[in-house]
A and B are shown apart, each in its own frame.
Chain A
């Protein structure tokens, strides 16, 4: 079978060798770069790329998984609405993410009605089929927020509303770049988010922080090539935006999608789980869409879930430092005690690819050996 164009192991080997060479030319160790995208982490994990990176290169998983960074109070709003008897439609990976008083899956077990959907359009279909109120619990970055915006702008049934926990990526890169003691020397930017925003959106960031940014796709060769380019810029002291995903991303992005996004949503500040308060990091519905805003339509009684006060555990979480590569899970007082895979506190324990989750399951990052497995042919 011919390998897919961007999954050719031979070309991957060449890129790995190039990456080894550039990292050793930089001449200090470790060189730390960050990606800010759950799909990049997925691809890195799925194709076993992490074990193939040079020893002197830290590819840090930044705050790029929208599910992981959805904050507990936001989950609580969804859970509270569900427990109030409102039918909730949401993406599958939101079900198990815990709030302060359980997850949506817990609410479902207690009798609440939760529908898993693949798209906001499916949630609208659900609303068409019933007279009941259907609330779409909307999560994801600008890529999925645009889909939500498009549906809202096109008009939705009267029994349909949106509880937005959408997030906006560019501001959190500023937070990470400005964290005291940060080791991050360059960023891989998410290709699909950049199809909306365009690659040019990162130019002011690059100018401000003098850190290179490479817009990267999601196949193994995309990621390896992007890392080669990023480390070359670090080696040469160059800080530029380079778009290595031109088959999807243009400098200006999708203008129509941007127009839709900002017509429906406005950015406001808010907490990202285990990271920080991110100015302009949360997307909320603009006032003119109040009639489809679940926060306006329902009285969401979150306090009832908290028995008066929200959990204080989250304040002890050091996910932000772990994600910035400043701390390891063993520096965290909650790790393995109050924070475990079944009851995670921070983002790094929520995701199956999160640093804390992997450390918890395997007592560190196990050495797996080189890819040599051709005994089967």
Chain B
């Protein structure tokens, strides 16, 4: 479908939600401002709209990425904004194949009156996440803004890494298998349950984790077998699959029965009427893998502590181009592209 021009006069929350509105804003406004007239050879840049950029240096690639993190509440079951900020950037680098992190930068903007205790707690959590990822913060910046000028704390992280082989999000072919590296929807549903004060008997915990080690295991299981990879953050698995199907010119059929979803995540999802495929994960990747290598990659993922629930969930097809089809066992339906923020529904 051709992209419609942005006519909205104001930036809305939907423009940051990882769905169609955000893609349109980036396409029209950001690419419009920074687009290179001629693509530079040896550079995977902004127009690729991948998880990061890659610049060829000799026979290797330098991968770099940046990500700003805002979340309400800043502390949530299973993590906090600090852990999120480290994992987000580490995982984006890993998605391009750069699983060894050369260095991270961290820029923090804090609201006047923010508790020092909370700030220290966030920094300690960042340090712990760095240790897990084998990464180091090598440069940083702090700013304080007046009360009410910013909501609590905003953290930006950037990172660089090297890889000999870049994995993009568009190399899919018909027949490739779709693998997810673990249970889906845990982060999004945990935050939603907390934010909306759902009093539940079960505690759902965010999956926020650095998965560069897990991804390295998958890459090494069969070098060159992963044809596309993305982490399923904002916009969820549905958003990632749409992007992969569109960029890779394939259709994708997903087997719902094979999707790893915790029963508590499924329960909350049914309660609020939001599909777990649409909500954010902060420690899960979606990858397309050559059919002959899928079993080996899956075995390698499952052998890693963060990949125990990994599963083959779908297949790329030569028909339904650009579409994501869900086979429910009862019938088939199209998976809609996320559009705007996720809101609970009554109807």
Interface on A for B, CB 8 Å cutoff?
Answer: 9, 12, 38-39, 42, 45-52, 65-68, 91-93, 95-96, 105-106, 108-110, 116, 118, 122, 139-140, 144, 220, 340-342, 352, 361-362, 366, 368-377
Interface string of B295-339 (1 = CB under 8 A from A): 000000000000000011111000010010111111111101001
Given known A-B contacts A52-B330, A340-B4, A368-B320, A376 and B273 have beta carbons under 8 A apart:
no
Question: What are the 3 A-B residue pairs with the smallest beta carbon separation, nearest first?
Answer: A92-B343, A48-B331, A52-B331
Tell me if B314 and A376 are in contact (CB < 8 A).
yes
- 28 residue pairs of the A-B complex, CB under 8 angstroms, read A42-B347, A48-B326, A67-B347, A91-B345, A92-B343, A92-B345, A96-B343, A105-B12, A105-B14, A105-B340, A109-B11, A109-B12, A116-B343, A220-B330, A341-B339, A352-B336, A362-B323, A366-B320, A368-B333, A369-B325, A370-B332, A371-B327, A371-B328, A371-B332, A372-B327, A373-B314, A375-B177, A376-B311
Tell me if A48 and B332 are in contact (CB < 8 A).
yes
Given known A-B contacts A48-B326, A373-B327, A376-B258, A362 and B334 have beta carbons under 8 A apart:
yes
B182 → chain A closest CB, angstroms = 15
Q: Is B30 close to A, CB under 8 A?
A: no
Contacts of B14 in A (CB 8 A): 96, 105
- List 6 extra interface pairs beyond A105-B340, A108-B13, A376-B314, CB under 8 A: A12-B330, A48-B331, A51-B332, A91-B346, A93-B344, A109-B11
Tell me if A373 and B330 are in contact (CB < 8 A).
no
Q: Is B138 close to A, CB under 8 A?
A: no
Tell me if A376 and B313 are in contact (CB < 8 A).
yes
Q: How far is the CA of A7 from the CA of B287 in the complex (A)?
A: 29
Interface size of B by CB at 8 A reads 45
- Identify which of B272, B327, B339 contacts A48 (C-beta below 8 A): B327
Q: How far is the CA of A9 from the CA of B197 in the complex (A)?
A: 35
Tell me if B258 and A377 are in contact (CB < 8 A).
yes
Q: Is B1 close to A, CB under 8 A?
A: yes
By secondary structure, the A interface counts as loop
Q: What residue in chain A is nearest B11 (Cβ atoms)?
A: A109
Interface string of B1-39 (1 = CB under 8 A from A): 100100000111110000001000000000000000000
Q: Is B264 close to A, CB under 8 A?
A: no
Given known A-B contacts A109-B10, A109-B11, A51 and B272 have beta carbons under 8 A apart:
no
Tell me if A140 and B255 are in contact (CB < 8 A).
no
A299 → chain B closest CB, angstroms = 27
Contacts of A106 in B (CB 8 A): 10, 12
Q: How far is the CA of A108 from the CA of B11 in the complex (A)?
A: 11
Tell me if A48 and B333 are in contact (CB < 8 A).
yes
Tell me if B328 and A342 are in contact (CB < 8 A).
no
Tell me if A368 and B332 are in contact (CB < 8 A).
yes
Q: How far is the CA of A109 from the CA of B345 in the complex (A)?
A: 20
Q: Is B128 close to A, CB under 8 A?
A: no
Tell me if A116 and B347 are in contact (CB < 8 A).
no
Tell me if A51 and B345 are in contact (CB < 8 A).
no
- Identify which of B273, B312, B334, B347 contacts A366 (C-beta below 8 A): B334
Q: How far is the CA of A118 from the CA of B197 in the complex (A)?
A: 10
Q: What residue in chain B is nearest A69 (Cβ atoms)?
A: B347
Interface string of B261-304 (1 = CB under 8 A from A): 00000000000110100000000000000000000000000000
Contacts of B177 in A (CB 8 A): 375-376
Contacts of B4 in A (CB 8 A): 340, 342
Q: What residue in chain B is nearest A342 (Cβ atoms)?
A: B4
Tell me if A67 and B346 are in contact (CB < 8 A).
yes
Q: Is B145 close to A, CB under 8 A?
A: no
Contacts of B332 in A (CB 8 A): 48, 51-52, 368-371
- Identify which of A51, A93, A370 contacts B347 (C-beta below 8 A): A93
B193 → chain A closest CB, angstroms = 11
